[in-house]
Structure 1
Amino acid sequence: MPAKIIGMIGTQQEGVAVHLIKGQISREWVIDFTRLHEQWNYDSVLVGYYASAAEGFAIALYAADHTERIKFLIAHRPGSVAPALAARQIATFDQLTQGRMWLHVIAGTSDQDQASEGDFLPKNDRYRRAAEYLDVMRRIWTSDSPFDHKGEFYRIEGAYSDIKPFQQPYPRLFFGGSSEGALEMGAAHCDVFAIFGEPLAETRARVDDFRRRAAAFGRRADFNMSLRPIMAETEGAAWDKAHALLADVERKTGEAPKPSNHSSERLLGYAARADVHDERLWMGIARATGAPGNTSCLVGTPEQIAAAVLRYYRLGIHSFLLRGFENPHDTMAIGRDLIPLIKAGAEQIDRQAEAAE
C-alpha cells in the first residue's frame, strides 16, 4: 500500500484556529496554504474542529474549489448535528468534490469545549452516542429505501437520502483515542485508527491489539500516525533546533497543564520515562505542553527522519500526518526533503514484500 502523507491547514499565523484573524477568515491563506500542500505532493490535509473556529466543511469546500487533486480529512463531532443531516452534508461534499474527502470522527475533546456547543453528555456516553450516530449515517449512505431507527440517543422514522457518497460505499472514516470506549467505537465503525507517535514496541502492541478488535467485527484495520518532524542538514543542527524550540515553548507556556485525555496521558508517560526513544522520537514538547495534541517529534536529517517513519510503515502504519512548527516554511521543507524519501522507501518495502511472497 503506498504511503499517504497528510498535512494540516487548520492553523493560521499566530496560532489562531482555522484561518481566523480577529473574527475574519483569511481566504488568501486558505487557498495559498492548501495549494502549497498540493504542490509538494501531500495526499490530504486535515481540517480540524474547534468549538470556536470556522466551520470545517465550508473551509474545505472553498479550498477544494481552488485546488485540483488534494483530499480533505475533515474533523467532525457526532452530536453537533443530527446524523441524517450529517449524512447528506458529507455525501454532498463528496459528490461536489468527486471523492476528495475523508472524515475524522471526534467524539469530543474537553468537557468545557463540548459545553460551549451545548453538549453536556459525559465522555463515556459520547462514544456510545458516536457509535450509534455512525451506524445511522452508514445506513443512510447505503440504504436503497427508507428505514426507522430507535436507539439510545436517536429516533428516526423514514430515514433516507436521495444523495449518496461519490466514494462507495462511503468516504474513509478515521478516529482517534485510547480509552476503551473510543477503541470499541472505532473497531465497530471506523476504517483508520489515528494515533500519535509512540515508541516502536508500544506502537506494535497497539497495532496488534486494534487489529484483533476490528477483526471481531469482521473489519480490516488501517492506521495513521501523527508526527512533527524537526529537520536540519545535520543531526546536531536538528537537535539544536529542537532544544531552541523547547526553550521557546517553555517560556510561553510556563508549567505544563495536566493531561486532558488518555492519549495525552500515554505520551506523558513516555516523556517521564525518557525524552528520546528509538533514537529519533523526542517527547520534549509533549512534556512541556501536557501533550494536548500532536506533540510527538522526530529529530534529525531528512534521511534519518524518513528512516524512522519507515520503521512505523513496516509495522503496518501506512499514512502519516506530518506538520512542523514554523509554517509555511516547514510545510514546504517536509514536501521537498522528506515526502519523496518516505514514498520511495515505502515503495521499496512493498516491492520486497511482494517478492518474498
Structure 2
Amino acid sequence: MSSLHVTGMIWAQPTSDLEAASGEAFQPAHIEALTRAHEDGGFDRVLAGYWTNAPDGFLVLAHAAAVAKKIQFLLAHRPGFVAPTLAARKLATLDQLTGGRLALHVISGGEDADQRKDGDHADHAARYRRTDEFLDVIRRVWTAEKPFDHAGEFYNIQQAWSDIRTAQKPHLPIFFGGASDSALKVAARHADVYALFGEPLADTAAMLDRVRASVPSDRRLAFSWSNRPILGATEKQAWEYAHHIRARAIAKLQQSGSAGLIAAGQAVNSQRLVGLSQRGEVLDERLWTAMAGVLGGRGNSTALVGTAEQVARSMLRYRKLGVSHYIIRGWDPLPDVIGYGRELIPLLHELAAAEDVGRVSIASAAVAAE
C-alpha cells in the first residue's frame, strides 16, 4: 500500500466561501499564521492556488518557506502567460530556495472567460496542447546537458539554457488534473500525481481506471483526491454545522448581488460536481454534495461530514482504490486547519498504519500457508 500525504491550502489574505475577503490583498502575517498552522498540524504540503485576481503564488510560497522549514509546497501555475524557459528558471529557483520542497500543480484553465482576464483567447483544446508543449520545454530546461532549440505550435526557442536547476532530481514533481480527454492525454505524458476532485467511490474508481488506461505501461502515476471535511464532536453536530455552512455561503452570495447560487462552470470537473449535487445531497453515506450546487462546482466543493473518525475512515476507502494524496481545506480556513491537525490527520495516519499492518499479516499468513 502506498504512503499517505496530506496537502492543505494557503492564501495571502483572510478569505473563504463564507466570508468576504478582509484587509489588504497581500498580508504576510496571514501567510505566516496559516502556513505555521499547517506545519504544526502535520500537513505534508500546502498549496498556493492560482486566481486571476490574486497575488503571485511564487512570492506567496517564497514567503511561506521563509517561516516554515519542514513543510513542502505545491504551486498552482497556468501555462501560457510566462514563457516555459523563464517558468523553468523561476521554478528551479524556488525549489532551490525551499531546499527541494516544491512541487508544481499545472492548471490548464477550464473557463474561457477567466482566461481572457489575463489576455488568453486560446480555446479549451488549444490550452491543453499548449500545456503539453509547455511541459515538454520546462522538463527539457531542467535536464538538458547543452543548449537546445525548440520549434512547436506555441513556442519557438533558440539555444535555451539554464544555469539553475531544480534541487530535486531529475526535476520537481508535477501534479496535474482535468477530466476531459485532452487533459488525460497531457497527464499520461507528464504527470507524477493525477489530481481528482471529491467524487463518490464508484465515480472515483471509474476515473482512476480511465486515467490508468491512458498511461503507458512504463509510467506509474500517484493519485490525489480533494475534499473539504466538516467535523463535529458527534455526527449530528457535524451535519448541523454543514447546514450552517451552506446558509452562510448563500448569504454571502446574496450580499454580493447573486441570486444565491452560482451557475455551473464551463470546466468538465465543475459540471461533474454539479451533476453530483443533482444526483443527491448525500452520496456514499457522508459525501455531502450540496455546496457543489451552491458554488457551481468550482474548485474543491464536496465535503465528507461526520466525526473525525468517521471522516478518516471514509477517506481511507479511497486509499484502497489507489489514492495516496489528499488535498483538504476547510470552510473556515484557519480554525479548520487547526481542527484537522488536532483530530483528523493523526487519526488518518493511525488508521492507515493499522490497515497496512493488517495487510502485511494477511499476506504473511498466505505465504506461510503455501
Is contact 2:233–2:307 with CA below 8 Å preserved after alignment? yes
Instruction: Tell me the CA shift for residue 21 of structure 1.
Output: 5.3
Unaligned runs of 5+ in 1: none
Aligned to 1:186: 187
Hey, what's the Cα distance between the residues in 2 that align with 1:141 and 1:349?
A: 39
Secondary structure of the structure 2 residue equivalent to 1:263? helix
Hey, what's the Cα distance between the residues in 2 that align with 1:233 and 1:57?
A: 38
Q: Percent identity?
A: 44
Aligned to 2:242: 242
Aligned to 1:199: 200
Instruction: Tell me the CA shift for residue 251 of structure 1.
Output: 3.0
Inter-CA distance 214–11: structure 2 relative to 1 (3 Å threshold): farther
Instruction: Tell me the CA shift for residue 11 of structure 1.
Output: 5.9
The Cα offsets for residues 305-352 of structure 1, whole Å up to 9 and x where unpaired, read as 000000001111111111111121111000110001111222233333
Aligned to 1:257: 263
Hey, what's the Cα distance between the residues in 2 that align with 1:92 and 1:128?
A: 26
Hey, what's the Cα distance between the residues in 2 that align with 1:69 and 1:161?
A: 27
Report the TM-score when normalising by structure 1.
0.95
Is contact 2:228–2:301 with CA below 8 Å preserved after alignment? yes
How many residues were matched structurally? 354
Matches within 5 A, 1:106-145: 106-145=107-146
The CA RMSD measured in Å over matched residues stands at: 1.7
Aligned to 1:220: 220
Is contact 1:51–1:113 with CA below 8 Å preserved after alignment? yes
Unaligned runs of 5+ in 2: 254-259, 365-370
Aligned to 1:45: 46
Hey, what's the Cα distance between the residues in 2 that align with 1:139 and 1:350?
A: 38
Aligned to 1:157: 158
Hey, what's the Cα distance between the residues in 2 that align with 1:168 and 1:242?
A: 43
Instruction: Tell me the CA shift for residue 24 of structure 1.
Output: 4.5
Matches within 5 A, 1:258-337: 258-337=264-343
Hey, what's the Cα distance between the residues in 1 that align with 2:334 and 2:23?
A: 20
Secondary structure of the structure 1 residue equivalent to 2:61? helix
Secondary structure of the structure 2 residue equivalent to 1:171? coil
Is contact 1:73–1:103 with CA below 8 Å preserved after alignment? yes
The Cα offsets for residues 90-121 of structure 1, whole Å up to 9 and x where unpaired, read as 11111121111110001114222211212111
Instruction: Tell me the CA shift for residue 258 of structure 1.
Output: 2.6
Residue identity in the other structure for 1:251 = A
Secondary structure of the structure 1 residue equivalent to 2:327? strand
Is contact 1:2–1:343 with CA below 8 Å preserved after alignment? no
